[in-house]
Amino acid sequence: MNWDLEGLIVSGHYLSEIFVRGKVTLSRVAYGGDIHHHVKLDKPINVYGAIRDTVILDHKQITQVSSH
């Protein structure tokens, strides 16, 4: 899998427990060499009382990638 997923639709597990799906707006190499993806969610989620419409996923948290 290519590390640059900008513009693609991904599914994964935020914080290793909350299923999310959305479009990658930014893929970047973080300090230490890990890959992080900024994902604009299809629908907002509630994370410990805070509503989030964007999350950052580690590359290893992504379970599926598609172009639509």
Structure confidence by residue, pLDDT tens digits, 15-57: 989 999 999 999 999 999 999 999 999 999 999 999 999 999 9
Residue 2 lies in a domain: no
The pTM for the full model equals: 0.92
Which region, left, alpha or beta, applies to residue 2 given φ > 0 means left and ψ of -120 to 50 means alpha?
Answer: beta
In one letter, which amino acid is 27? S
Domain membership of residue 45 as a residue range: 9-66
| Strand, helix or coil for residue 30 | coil
- Quick one: pLDDT band at residue 2, thresholds 50, 70, 90? confident
Residue 19 inside a domain? The answer is yes
- Token pair recorded at residue 58: 């580690």
> Is residue 12 classed exposed, middle or buried when 0-12, 13-18 and 19+ CB atoms within 10 A define those classes?
buried
What is the total count of domains within the chain? 1
Does any domain span residue 4?
no
